[in-house]
Amino acid sequence: MTEIRINRERLWRDLMELKEIGGYDDEATGLRGVRRLALTDEDARARRLVVSWMRQAGLKVRVDRIGNVYGERAGEEPGLPCMLMGSHIDTVATGGAFDGTLGVLGGIEVIRTLNEAGVRTRRPIEIGFFTEEEGVRFGTDMLGSAVTAGRLTLEYAHNLTDAGGATVKDELVRIGFDGDAPEIRPVPHAYIECHIEQGPILATAGVDIGIVTGVQSISWQRLTLRGEAAHAGTTPIESRADAGLAAAEVIVEIRRMCDSGEYGQLRGTVGDLRLLPGQTNVIPSEATLTVDLRNPDDTLMTAAEKHLAEHVDALSDRHRVTAAWERMARTAVIPFHEGIQDVIAETADALGLPYVRAMSGAGHDAQEIAAICPAAMVFVAGENGGISHTPREYSSPSACGNGIDVLANAILRLAGEV
Amino acid sequence: MTEIRINRERLWRDLMELKEIGGYDDEATGLRGVRRLALTDEDARARRLVVSWMRQAGLKVRVDRIGNVYGERAGEEPGLPCMLMGSHIDTVATGGAFDGTLGVLGGIEVIRTLNEAGVRTRRPIEIGFFTEEEGVRFGTDMLGSAVTAGRLTLEYAHNLTDAGGATVKDELVRIGFDGDAPEIRPVPHAYIECHIEQGPILATAGVDIGIVTGVQSISWQRLTLRGEAAHAGTTPIESRADAGLAAAEVIVEIRRMCDSGEYGQLRGTVGDLRLLPGQTNVIPSEATLTVDLRNPDDTLMTAAEKHLAEHVDALSDRHRVTAAWERMARTAVIPFHEGIQDVIAETADALGLPYVRAMSGAGHDAQEIAAICPAAMVFVAGENGGISHTPREYSSPSACGNGIDVLANAILRLAGEV
């Protein structure tokens, strides 16, 4: 069996070039970060660049109706379902150069390597990048992959709005990525996504490669607490209905739940909180906060959500505020396909690359595609504890190269060398 | 000595008419509120209406360079310093019909009553309304009175900006209240401000009238906590530097300090809090919050500030965030003039109106004017526990009438009936 090796320098150069689209100087870290929210002008420029790279690699490009972009390399047996690779190129507001892009640019590098080696495969090979994976602009993450896998309808996705009221559909049209390919894509033979780990497990184990066993349960909710505005100087402490104080107690309780161990490996984050009317000398009448919970155990996740809801009820009574929950997203633990995991493991063994198997702490497009075909992921170790969603996000050229080498050879095995 | 009685119906009609300028339907309470921030179009309309009422009452109107407006009724001995009444007509974003406006419209009603009774006085009588008393738009409260009393310079005040970057000077010019009278006003003989209590003391005592002994110490600070943005799903709890969590702990500690009694009658409020980047799945890198502390005891106020600073230092270390404090405002306890308090007390006695003496929980223009002449305040009871800075703010027509009757007769005594 042919073992192929990708061109690491070329991959790194592409990663660094794409990083400059949406690049900004981050004050908090003093580093160069990336701000390339989905369907913005920056995302559009990045999409055009990546499409040009796809075409240079000989891929036939199509755009579907939710803006997902696919590049196809023909197989020798055209009727067979394709082997799909992919990820995303949108970022959070304080992002780095690797999250998502590694899997997409790495996929293009796999194609170039196959082309240069003159390797043909039985199955077609496709690379996809999916719209609004981060969910930070339109509020629903894995949006493009959820639509193509049929979990969300095109109409629902098109009508989502950003903070300024712009819809997904309008923005797709505006940036010229309102494609005409069907949003429900043909079922692939299998899907492999290479992605940075965004956590410390691989670095702690001293390996570059992770084989992902699944994605932990994710719960996103928005909580609105309503009290009453009143004068900060004259209103006695005991007669207040301070929505901001109630919100602060929710944040502290979420951390306590994580620290307690009562809910296993629960992780909880309040990433956004807004107070109304938001004035120095007025007791807040309203507080709106997001609650992000993650858990590798479905039962403990349900228990954590139940406890938090009860705790909020109790503190709402105590502070004379009302509480309203809005569900933004909820996924159960999603296990990846064991057969595909094993192919990845055999590939890593053949390349002499040690690996560990671990569950993903973050959500990924692979969890959506897993609903329609066998899917798994390759993780690549990050430095600085694997920190991500910050300009400090960093994976070394050799770790990235090792990860894409594993991807390349696993894809080749599954696509069937002719 | 003449005892005069104002026209309560006319005063009430004016209060209700002014309330509609900036009026809005408040969702939280289902009531009609007032949103008339300083130097907005709404404030400009209100200013023009009040100026027209001043002119109809025969007052000679002048506007100074910080936009304070004065209306003067001549005295029989023109060289004497005037008796000054006044307050403000700007509101917070969720305001009511009485805060500030009672003292201004009440002052106009006093003049009308003197005119109709044909009463002349030795001293001139002036009504003033001061720019940006609330401080919610440009960040410094009692702005106009602080400038006229010489505590803040005109240049400093002119260069303050709102959240959109507009300066006080630009906004004064834009709304046509960039007057040419000197911002340092002639020293009055004395100043009396009638204002709603904005607290529960009078209602609890069962009286309509309060004689204000002084204003408690006020401390406004802005605290910025900086941690590090990171992925909410993958970053272990123990390796986070969560600025939002640190902010939540500050809010909870401020409430604990108030509840503990260790700092006397401390009141603490966090009215505004903003998180960056403010995304559901990103640990906040930065939290900025306002801290409003009030205390009727200077020593206990200083102790509270010191404790809070130490507490923030400790929790910053624990959460690996940095803390930066910015001083927005700080006033010591300001006692009002006992002689003027006694004149108000004699007046209330003569009118048969019971009263209590109490310290003010809120800041008022009177505390600034107290730096240049004898000053004191008349408080009027509010309903609903005296709640204010909300559309629920309400003082009855009879309480308002009683308060302005006290104001009228105290002014008449001090201005010297001819």
**Segment B390-409, tens digit of pLDDT:** 899 999 999 999 999 999 99
Among B237, B275, B294, whose Cβ lies nearest the Cβ of A258? B237
With helix as H, strand as E and coil as C, how does chain A read?
Answer: CCCCCCCHHHHHHHHHHHHCCCEEECCCCCCEEECCCCCCHHHHHHHHHHHHHHHHCCCEEEEECCCCEEEEECCCCCCCCCEEEEECCCCCCCECCCCCHHHHHHHHHHHHHHHHHCCCECCCEEEEECCCCCCCCCCCCCHHHHHHCCCCCHHHHHHCECCCCCEHHHHHHHHCCCCCECCCCCCCCEEEEEEECCCCHHHHHCCCEEEEEEECEEEEEEEEEECCCEECCCCCHHHCCCHHHHHHHHHHHHHHHHHHCCCCCCEEECCCEEEECCCCCEECCEEEEEEEEEECCHHHHHHHHHHHHHHHHHHHHHHCCEEEEEEEEEECCEECCHHHHHHHHHHHHHHCCCEEEEEECCCCHHHHHCCCCCEEEEEECCCHHHCCCCCCCCCCHHHHHHHHHHHHHHHHHHHCEC
In B, minimum Cα distance to A284 occurs at B271
Residue of B218, B244, B272 lying closest to A275 (CB–CB): B272
- Tell me: is residue B242 an annotated ligand-binding position: no
Give the closest of B28, B199, B245 to A228, CB-based.
B28
Of A97, A103, A102, nearest in space to A85 by CA: A103
pLDDT at A1 over 90: no
Q: What pLDDT, on the 0 to 100 scale, is given for residue B117?
A: 95
Which of A390-394, B51-55, B178-182 has the weakest average pLDDT?
A: A390-394
Asked if A248 and B252 come within 8 Å (Cβ–Cβ), the reply is yes
> Are B280 and A29 a contacting pair at CB < 8 A?
no
Nearest CA in chain A to B250: A248
Contacts across the A-B interface (CB distance below 8 Å): 267
Neighbours of B167 (CB within 10 A): 16
Whether residue A28 and residue B228 make contact (CB cut-off 8 A), yes or no, is yes
Judging contacts by C-beta atoms under 8 Å, the chain A residues touching residue B247 are 248
Q: State the Cα angle at A122 between A116 and A123, rounded to 5°.
A: 95
Which of A28-32, A151-155, B83-87 is the least confident region? A28-32
A135:B273 CB<8 A: no
pLDDT at residue B1 greater than cutoff 70: no
Per-residue model confidence as pLDDT tens digits over A122-171: 999 999 999 999 999 998 989 999 999 999 999 999 999 999 999 999 99
More confident residue, A64 or A362: A64
Check whether domain B217-331 has CATH 3.30.70.360, yes or no: yes
CA–CA min distance A299, chain B (Å): 18
Using CB atoms, pick whichever of A226, A279, A385 lies closest to residue B93: A279
Same-fold call for B8-215+334-415 versus B217-331? no
Nearest chain B alpha carbon to A229: B390
Asked whether residue A231 carries a pLDDT value surpassing 90, the answer given is no
For residues A44 and A76, the answer to whether their CB atoms sit within 8 Å is no
B280 and A271 within 8 Å at the Cβ level: the answer is yes
B49/chain A closest Cα distance in angstroms: 26
Q: Stretch B323-337: mean pLDDT, rounded? A: 94
Interchain pair A136, B29: CB under 8 A: no
Instruction: Tell me the domain boundaries of chain A.
Output: 8-216+334-415, 221-331
Q: Tell which of B138, B142, B235 to mutate to test the A interface (max A CBs under 10 Å).
A: B235
* Residues of chain B found within 8 Å of residue A235, distances taken between Cβ atoms: 198-199, 267, 361, 385, 387-388
State how far the Cα of B95 lies from the Cα of A286, in Å rounded to an integer.
15
- The residue whose two tokens read 């990103």 is B282
Confidence band for B19, pLDDT divided at 50, 70 and 90:
very high
CB-based contacts of B395, cutoff 8 Å, min separation 6: B98, B102, B196, B380, B381, B382, B383, B403
Q: Residue A80's pLDDT is what?
A: 96
Instruction: For residue B307, say whether it is annotated as part of any ligand binding site.
Output: no
Residues from chain A contacting residue B251 (CB–CB below 8 Å): 244-245, 248
Burial of B206 (0-12, 13-18, 19+ CB in 10 A): exposed
Assign a CATH topology to domain A221-331: Alpha-Beta Plaits (3.30.70)
Which CATH superfamily is A8-216+334-415 part of?
Zn peptidases (3.40.630.10)
Contacts of A253 in chain B (CB under 8 A): none
Cβ of A248 within 8 Å of Cβ of B247? The answer is: yes
Average pLDDT over chain A reads 96
pLDDT at A407 over 90: yes
What is the CATH architecture of B8-215+334-415?
3-Layer(aba) Sandwich (3.40)
B248 contacts A271? CB cut-off 8 A: no
Confidence of residue B78 (pLDDT cuts 50, 70, 90): confident
